[in-house]
Chains A and B, each alone.
Chain A
Amino acid sequence: MSVDIFLSLLTAAFALMVVFSKKTVVAAFALLMTLLTIAIIYFQVGTVFLSAVQVLVNAGAIAILFVFVMMLINLEQFPNNREKNKMKLIITSFTVLVIMGVLALVINNNIEMLSVENLTDNSMKALFDKLFTAYYLPFELATMLLLAAIVACIVITSHEKHEKHEKEELLETEKNR
Chain B
Amino acid sequence: MAISSLAQRALERDGLGPIRDTVLSGERISDADALRLFEATDLAAVGALANHVRERRHGDLAFYNRNVHLNPTNVCVASCKFCSFARKEGETASPGYTMSVDEAVEKVLSRRPLGITEVHMVAGLHPTLPWEYYTELLRRIRAAWPELTIKAFTAIEIHFWAEKYGKSYAQVLTELRDAGLDTMPGGGAEIFAPRVRRKICDDKATADQWIEIHRTAHRLGIKTNSTMLYGHIEQLEERVDHLRRLRELQDETRGFQVFIPLAFHPEHNMIGKAFPKPTGYDALRTLAVARLYLDNFDHVKAYWVSLGERLAQTALAFGVDDLDGTVLEERIYHMAGSTVPQALSEKTLHELIRAAGRVPAERDSHYRILKRFETAAA
A and B: interacting chains: no
- Which residues of B approach A to under 8 Å, CB–CB? none
